[in-house]
């Protein structure tokens, strides 16, 4: 059983963290890396060159009729990998991280599908994403992940308090450049007596505030590498919400929430934080079934929901989160999904 490691250029990038965590789980199961060692070279040109030669080396070394686990997207090299893997009679497992058609990045459904389902089995985020693949006529086995992992050597210990507060601290981790997540500034204009927001990520612009800073409930905490941020976030909840509006998750990013598992969900769980999530997000079902937090249709209702939250309800959420925290920390979800994929093969 094999995989091909690659260069992941940004230490601040959640997508890179998700893929390196998958490699961690594959190693635990007994997969071996045939390519160059995992790296984080920031230069796109050098990183692409390293990936090409590493993949070529791996495909030459790949034994006939073996099993290879791939991750999608894989930039320019997806067809290269699958073509030579099939030429050698190998079985292909694909862990799907992003579906660009659903994200609004590309429009040709058939073209993207052909790249993904050139596999023997695929691992997708959740039941909503699985349903979408089935609706497109996918006829290979599909394994559902549940939630991505957020692997860490040490468990974050800074969020252990379990009691009702006059004002809850809500963490949001993400990017803020080019108008992204502009809805966050609207929270200053809503009823917000029960919460304040702590933002983590790159691109924050304080000039976009809609009230004076001293009147704001928004507090910028800085940006940290993906392997350090879990030890920096201090809060009572983590917010999963995308788009440009507080009324619902709108726009292409908001629509994508109906299908994907945002990696920030896994980060919050590793931090020991219950989740606040849009009720139509695909990950909301995972939160509800496992009693890991609060689902809300409109952020204007968040203040009243927090007012009515009892200590026993919060304690139960926190207890359930700590159980899942251990799993995401160790790479349990990807490991379990890949084991199921192996059984299908």
pLDDT in tens, 51-85: 999 999 999 999 999 999 999 998 789 999 999 99
Res. 320: pLDDT tops 70: yes
pTM (2 d.p.): 0.94
R_g (Cα) of the chain, nearest Å = 21
Cα–Cα separations (whole angstroms), residue 39 to 28, 92, 152, 329: 19, 24, 17, 21
Whole-number pLDDT of residue 23: 97
Q: At what angle do helices 332-344 and 311-330 cross, to 10 degrees?
A: 60
How distant is the alpha carbon of residue 308 from its chain centre? Answer: 30
Six-digit token pair at 26?
Answer: 């594959």
d(CA 321, CA 319): 5
Res. 15: pLDDT tops 80: no
Whole-number pLDDT of residue 176: 87
H or E stretch at 334: helix 332-344
Whole-number pLDDT of residue 119: 97
CATH of domain 168-328: 3.40.50.2000
Correct CATH for 2-144 of 3.40.50.2000, 1.10.3720.10, 2.40.128.50, 1.10.1040.10: 3.40.50.2000
List, for residues 202-220, the tens digit of each pLDDT value.
999 999 999 999 999 999 9
Query: Which phi and psi angles does 170 have, rounded to 5°?
Result: -110, 125
Strands in the chain per DSSP E: 2-3, 32-33, 67-72, 91-96, 121-124, 142-144, 168-173, 195-200, 218-222, 237-240, 275-278, 293-296
Average pLDDT value for residue range 88-112 = 94
Average pLDDT value for residue range 281-308 = 97
Whole-number pLDDT of residue 12: 63
Q: Which long-range contacts (CB under 8 A, 24 or more apart) does 295-298 make?
A: 297/248, 298/246, 298/247, 298/248
d(CA 150, CA 245): 28
Question: Percent of the chain, pLDDT > 70?
Answer: 98
The reply to whether 168-328 shares the fold of 2-144 is yes
Average pLDDT value for residue range 209-233 = 94
Whole-number pLDDT of residue 11: 60
d(CA 67, CA 120): 10
Res. 168: pLDDT tops 70: yes
Cβ-based neighbours of 71, under 8 Å, separated by 6 or more: 3, 19, 22, 94, 95, 97
d(CA 21, CA 330): 9
Whole-number pLDDT of residue 13: 64
Taking the CA atoms of residue 126, residue 132, residue 134 and residue 136 in that order, the dihedral angle to the nearest 10 degrees is -150
Query: 133 with 102: CB under 8 angstroms?
Result: no
- The DSSP annotation for 80-99 comes to HHHHHHHHTT-EEEEEE---
Cα–Cα separations (whole angstroms), residue 10 to 43, 65, 138, 142, 314: 9, 34, 33, 30, 35
Beta bridge partners of 241: none
Average pLDDT value for residue range 236-243 = 95
List, for residues 129-165, the tens digit of each pLDDT value.
999 999 999 999 999 999 999 999 999 999 988 888 8
Query: 1 with 39: CB under 8 angstroms?
Result: no
The pLDDT confidence band at residue 10, using thresholds 50, 70 and 90, is: low
The owner of tokens 């890949």 is 338
Count of CB atoms within 10 A of residue 8's CB? 21
Residue-range domain boundaries for the chain: 2-144, 168-328
């Amino acid at each position: 059983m094999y995989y091909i490691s690659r260069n992941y250029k940004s230490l601040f990038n959640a997508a890179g963290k998700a893929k390196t965590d998958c490699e961690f789980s594959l190693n635990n199961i007994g997969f071996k890396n045939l390519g160059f060692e995992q790296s984080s070279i920031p230069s796109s040109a050098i990183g692409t060159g390293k990936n090409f030669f590493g993949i070529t080396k791996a495909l030459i070394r790949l034994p006939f009729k073996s099993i290879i686990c791939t991750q999608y997207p894989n930039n320019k090299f997806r067809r290269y990998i699958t073509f030579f893997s099939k030429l050698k009679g190998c079985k292909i497992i694909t862990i799907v991280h992003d579906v660009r058609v659903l994200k609004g990045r590309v429009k040709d459904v058939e073209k993207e599908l052909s790249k993904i389902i050139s596999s023997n089995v695929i691992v997708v985020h959740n039941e909503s994403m699985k349903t979408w693949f089935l609706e497109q006529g996918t006829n290979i086995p599909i394994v559902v992940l549940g939630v991505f992992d957020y692997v860490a050597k040490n468990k974050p210990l800074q969020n252990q308090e379990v009691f009702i507060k006059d004002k809850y601290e809500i963490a949001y981790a993400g990017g803020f450049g080019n108008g992204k997540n502009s809805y966050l500034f609207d929270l200053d204009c809503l009823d917000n007596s029960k919460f304040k927001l702590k933002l983590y990520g790159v691109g924050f612009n304080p000039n976009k505030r809609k009230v004076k800073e001293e009147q704001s409930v928004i507090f910028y905490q800085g940006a940290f590498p993906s392997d350090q941020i879990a030890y920096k976030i201090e809060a009572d909840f983590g917010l999963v919400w995308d788009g440009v509006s507080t009324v619902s998750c709108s726009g292409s990013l908001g629509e994508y929430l109906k299908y994907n598992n945002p990696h920030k969900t896994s980060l919050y769980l590793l931090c020991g934080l219950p989740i606040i999530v849009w009720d139509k997000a695909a990950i909301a079902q995972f939160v509800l079934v496992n009693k890991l937090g609060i689902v809300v249709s409109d952020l204007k209702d968040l203040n009243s929901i927090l007012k009515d939250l009892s200590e026993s309800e919060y304690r139960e959420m926190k207890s359930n989160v700590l159980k899942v925290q251990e799993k995401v920390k160790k790479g349990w979800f990807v490991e379990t999904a890949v084991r199921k994929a192996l059984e299908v093969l």
